[in-house]
Structure 1
Amino acid sequence: MNHIDQFDQEHADALRGIWFLGDVHGAFKHIAQALLAAKEKPRWLVFLGDIDIDHISFREVLAPVKRHFTDTKVAFIHGNHDADTYEHWEMLHDCGDAVALHGQVTDLDGVRVAGLGGNFMGRVWGPPAQASFENKKKAMHRGPYQWRDGQKPNPSLHAAIYPDDVAALSKLRADILVTHEAPGCHPYGFDALDELARSMRVARSFHGHHHDDLSAQYMLGREQRGFDARAVAYCGIKNGLGEVIRAGDAGW
């Protein structure tokens, strides 16, 4: 038995209780429908980024979940569209007791889940190329003459992936890695995320961002890759075993 199958066997109940949610872009009705239809309600909802709200706080969005599904908790990472504007960033992070997973490992009912939000931006870092900025602070605070007439740095810099974040995570251990950006098995993915997953010794990873689900293709290289990579499509839902709770929608 390989380490992935052993992980699934040892944590099966907990993994079925964790739902990973693909990009929602402000649409939440399908989540309510899935919760109502589920015989066994999930213990965790984990958003994989691009929640994409700018006029209402995430805390307010989640209020019906807290009211009607009191045993279900929420965790999330940010996506690129969660930093389209400063309002997007602020509304997402006005999140009440939802857990922001980015840059840390969090225990979700005995399953260690690591989070890396955002996307690779060429002007910041596009592996394997050399990074222009090691971290967000250096990207957003470049001296007193960088931002004139009271301007702010481009909000998209909040969502860039920085080398310091990846390096810090690589020193930790986790069971599952959630990213918005795709690993190298996706046609537009990045090998740097495969390297991160292997460094953390994860059994499985989940990603969103591209709105498609190429998980069947990913399976062909699972043993060589060393971990089980899964995609979750636009408005799709999978549990921690990679089983489909709701197939994604086409387009958006």
Structure 2
Amino acid sequence: MNPNNKILFAGDPHGDFRPLIAAVHKYRPEAVVLLGDYDLEMPLEICLQEIIGLTEIWWIAGNHDFETPVKYKNLFHSALAGNSLHLKVTEIAGLRIAGLGGIFLGRVWYPPQPPRWRNKQHFLNGQAAGAKSAALSLKYQGAIWPDEFHALKALKADILVTHEAPGGHRHGFDVIGELGVAMGVKHIFHGHLHENYTGIVKNNIKVFGVANRAVADLMGNTLKDED
């Protein structure tokens, strides 16, 4: 097996998992990492039942995964719920991979602007008495929260996977590159922007954008059916 294919990264499927399934059958990776925005009409394990047992399946969430209770439940209450990489480092096929799901939400934190809320409890405490709830709405659950983001900086990893893009892209955020620097990563893979591209941020970290329904190898190469 080509060592670059031992982990594959899947861009936003938006309900179409066929390219990922085909890539797993063709390249037989040890693991696949999904970069968010699944638009699940059924539990994730049903969508990926053809490849369960053939490879490890890991994921982070995107903004679409918080759009409706059904999409949320089919991911976060699925049989693969425990394979989320969000806010932690997991050793996968011999590499340490860190995950940051969700997006920057202006009502919480939209860098480089300062955060409106320090953390989830700060936000809940700040709601009007009649609007207070013990739980966050789905939209706010899908936000990147400052305290959780900064806690990741204390961890070390080889690869960072995010839904949002780091700086260097016109729609990216410099703080994600700064997170990669703090964690000592060599590569950042992200989805969300529906674009295959390669870039470099501070400390010579290579950035790979993976387009919707695209599949990339460890070097950021987009895998084609004819390869």
**TM-score after normalising by structure 1:** 0.81
**Structure-2 residue corresponding to 1:64:** 50
Shift of 1:60: 2.0
Q: Which moves more between the two structures, 96-105 or 226-235?
A: 96-105
Shift of 1:50: 0.5
**Structure-2 residue corresponding to 1:101:** 85
Identity within the alignment, %: 35
**Structure-2 residue corresponding to 1:162:** 145
| Cα separation, partners in 2 of 1:173 and 1:152, compared to 1, 3 Å | closer
| Cα separation, partners in 2 of 1:111 and 1:181, compared to 1, 3 Å | same
Q: 1:29 aligns with which of 18, 23, 40?
A: 18
| Cα separation, partners in 2 of 1:190 and 1:133, compared to 1, 3 Å | same
* C-alpha RMSD of the superposition: 2.3
Shift of 1:242: 1.4
Correspondence 1:159-238 to 2 at 5 A: 159-215=142-198, 218=199, 221=200, 224-238=202-216
Whether the aligned pair in 2 keeps the contact of 1:124 and 1:160 (CA below 8 Å) is yes
**Structure-2 residue corresponding to 1:6:** none
Distance 2:134 2:79 in 1: 29
| Cα separation, partners in 2 of 1:146 and 1:89, compared to 1, 3 Å | farther
Whether the aligned pair in 2 keeps the contact of 1:106 and 1:114 (CA below 8 Å) is yes
Shift of 1:172: 0.4
In the alignment, is residue 41 of structure 1 matched against residue 28 of structure 2? yes
Distance 1:179 1:246 in 2: 23
Structure 1 unmatched runs, 5+: 1-11, 248-252
Q: Which amino acid aligns with 2:107?
A: R
Structure 2 unmatched runs, 5+: none
List per-residue Cα deviations over 1:155-190 (Å, max 9, x = no partner).
Answer: 111111111111111000000000000000110100
Shift of 1:144: 7.5
**TM-score after normalising by structure 2:** 0.89
Whether the aligned pair in 2 keeps the contact of 1:20 and 1:48 (CA below 8 Å) is yes
